Amino acid sequence: MVSPDIDPVIQSCAIVCVDGKPAGTAVLVAPTKALTCAHVVAKCCSDNSSWPIRDGRVELRFPGCAKPVSASIDATMVGDDDLAVLAIDDAREDLPEPILLDPNRGAPAEVSLFGFPKADKTDDGVWRDFAVSRGTASGLVQLKWDDSLGSLFGQSGGAVIDKETDSLVGLLQEGSTTGAFDRYLPTHRIAKILPELSVPWCFAGSDTRAHIESRGRGRYGSQASGEFFRGRTKALARVKEWLCSIDDSDQVLVVTGKPGAGKSAVLSRIVLDDVLCGQGMRFVFHASQSSHALFCQTLARLVGVPATASGIVLTHAISERLAGRLLVLVDALDEASTPSDRHDLVNTLRGLAGLPGVRVVVATRSLSVDTFDSDGLVYRLGVMNAGSGNLVDLDREPYRDTQAVKQHAFAILTHEGIEQIRVATAAGKWYSAHTERAERVAEMIGRKASGNFLVASLEAASLIGRDEPIDPDDPEAENAIPATLEEVYDKCLDNLV
C-alpha cells in the first residue's frame, strides 16, 4: 500500500519511462488510466507523423509502488492537443488513489507544478510555484515566471495544482527557457475531449462524495456496495425538470420531508444519474456540519471569481462573470454548523436563484413546528404553502412513494444488486433463498414504515441480522415490526443488551 506520509499529489504522479529511460511525467486520473503529453511518448509510436496511434508500451514509476507499472499507449494527440492516454495493464493493490479530473475548476491565481525532471537522479520529484497569467489563443493557460527559472525538462505531463485547494487544474504541456514561459492544458478542456474520465460535479462540504454515493444508492449503515435505491420517479422527474428548464426563475426548489423520507437520496440520485448533459457548471454542497463561508469560497473558485466569505459579494461577482449555466444543489441545509450559517446560506441561495442562468435545489427539514411556519427554513427559502410550485414534499402526494419503501425493504432483505455477498446469518440466507416470502415480509415493513425509507432500511437490516427469519404466515409477525424511528432505535438497543 502507498505510504500515508507521501503527499497525495505526489502519490498520483509517475515517471514515464520509454525504453527504460525517464521521458516525462504522467498523472493517474482513473484507477487504470493516466495522462501525459503525446510528445513524451512519441518515441514509442511506430510513425510519429500519423495520429492517433494505439501501439507502443511504457513503464510508469509511482513513488509509492515497489515495482514499475506497465501501460500501453491507448491514444495520443487526442483531438488537436498534445495529450496521451496511458492504459495500465493491471489495477494493482499498491496503486495510488487517482486525482479526480474535475472539469468545473476555473483558473486559480496561483498554482504549483509537480513533476520528475530528468536532471534529478532521484525519484523524489520537484515542485515549482507559479502565478497564473492568462489563457492563450489555443486554449492553454500561461504561467508567469516570478524568477529566472520555470519548469524543468522532464516535467512535461506533470500535475498543475491549485495552491489553495490542492485540486488538479491541468497538465503541464510546454515551456521555453528562451521565451521564459510555461503553459498548461486545463482540466475543463481535457474533460471535453475525454469526457469518460471527467467528474461532472464539483463537490464541497462534509464528506460529500461518499455521502452522495451512499445515499444515492440507497445503502444502509456501513454497506459499501449494492444498489438499493427504488422508486421516487415523480420527485426525481420534478427536480430534473427544474434543473434543465431554460426559463429563468428567481425561486429555490425545496425538497423536504420528515427524517427518513429520502431527501438526501433524491438529491444524491440526481448527481449519480447525471443526465443533465450540457447544463454548464454543477455544484453540490453537503451542508451538514459545514459553514456558509466554505460554501461561498468553494463556489467562488468553481466559477472563477475572487474568493469571498460574503454571500452578497459572491452573488454580485457571479452575476458579472457567469456566461452560461450554473446548477447548485445543497443537501442537509438544516444540519449546517450553526444557526447563523443556516441563516446566511438561505439568504445567499435565494440571491443566487435570482440570477439569470442559475438554478438552485435545496433539501432540508423546516426545523419549525409546522412545515410552513414563517420561522422555518422551508418558508424562508420561499415556499409559502403546500401548493407552492417550488416544493417537493416527500411526505405528501404526488411525491410520497409507499410502494418504493416496500421495494427498498425487499432489496435489502434479498441483497439485490450485490454480487458474491457473504450472508453470515441464517435469516439473511433464508430471505435470499425464499424471495416470495421475503416479498411478503417487505410488504409488512412497508405498511409499518408508512412511507419512511429510514425506518424500512433499519428494520430490514435488523431482520437479516437475526438468527431466525420472520415467518409471514405467523399472525403475530407484523406486530414484531416497529413502525417509527424511535421503536427501531429502541429495538436495536435491546438487541445490543
Q: What is the pLDDT of residues 231-240, one digit of tens each?
A: 999 999 999 9
Q: From edge to edge, which strands make up the β-sheet containing 253-256? A: 202-205, 281-286, 326-331, 358-363, 253-256, 391-393
Phi, psi angles (nearest 5°) of residue 3: -65, 135
Domains and CATH numbers, the chain: 8-88 (2.40.10.10), 110-196 (2.40.10.10), 202-393 (3.40.50.300), 402-496 (no CATH)
Q: What is the C-alpha end-to-end distance of the chain, expressed in Å?
A: 38
Distance CA 286, CA 209 (A): 9
pLDDT confidence of residue 495: 47
Query: So what's the pLDDT on residue 494?
Result: 46
- Which contiguous run of DSSP H or E holds residue 443? helix 435-449
Residue 163 has pLDDT above 60, yes or no: yes
Nearest to 52 by CA among 82, 18, 29: 82
Distance between CA atoms of residues 370 and 345, nearest Å: 21
| 180 compared with 420, residue with greater pLDDT | 180
Can you give the pLDDT at residue 195?
Answer: 78
Are the C-beta atoms of residues 441 and 480 closer than 8 Å to each other? no
Q: How far is CA 359 from CA 241, 244, 254, 466, 470, in A?
A: 11, 9, 12, 46, 47
Q: Which of 235, 231, 232, 213 lies closest to 223 in space, CA to CA?
A: 213
Average pLDDT (262-272) is: 94
Q: Which are the contacts of 285, defined by CB distance < 8 A and separation ≥ 6?
A: 204, 205, 208, 295, 298, 299, 328, 329, 330, 331
Question: How confident is the model at residue 199, as a pLDDT?
Answer: 66
Residue 490 has pLDDT above 70, yes or no: no
In the block, cell 438529491 appears at 267
pLDDT at 422: 52
Question: For 170-183, what is the mean pLDDT?
Answer: 89
Per-residue confidence band for 252, with pLDDT thresholds at 50, 70 and 90:
very high
The residue count for the chain: 497
pLDDT digits (tens, 9 = 90+) for 50-83: 444 445 789 999 998 889 999 998 866 655 788 9
Beta bridge partners of 182: 143, 175
pLDDT at 383: 96
CB contact at 8 A, 456 and 419: no
Residue (of 104, 101, 103, 96) closest to 32 by Cα position = 96
Helices and strands: H and E segment counts in the chain: 15, 18
Residue 27 pLDDT level (bands cut at 50, 70, 90)? very high
Residue 349 has pLDDT above 90, yes or no: yes
Grid coordinates representing 211? Answer: 455521502
The grid coordinates listed for 313 are 459579494
List the grid coordinates of 51: 495520429
Q: What is the mean pLDDT of residues 474-489?
A: 69
For residue 376, what pLDDT is reported?
95
Nearest 5°: the CA angle 424, 403, 241 is 115
CA of 457: how far to CAs of 214, 325, 405, 408, in Å? Answer: 13, 37, 9, 7
Rounded distance, CA 70 to CA 286, Å? 39
Give the mean pLDDT of 89-117: 82
What pLDDT shows up at residue 14? Answer: 96
The Cα–Cα gap between 440 and 474 comes to: 11
Q: What is the pLDDT of residue 342?
A: 97
- Taking residues 402-418, report their average pLDDT: 86
Q: Give the count of alpha carbons within 13 A of 100, CB side only.
A: 13
From the list 28, 5, 2, the residue with the least C-alpha distance to 15 is 28
User: Whole-prediction pTM value?
Assistant: 0.70
Is a pLDDT exceeding 80 seen at residue 103? no
Task: Please determine, for residue 386, whether its predicted confidence score (pLDDT) is greater than 50.
Answer: yes
Candidate from 216-220, 311-315, 389-393 with smallest mean pLDDT: 216-220
The H or E element that residue 334 is part of is none
- HSE, side-chain direction, 13 A CA sphere, residue 394: 32
Average pLDDT over residues 371-381: 95
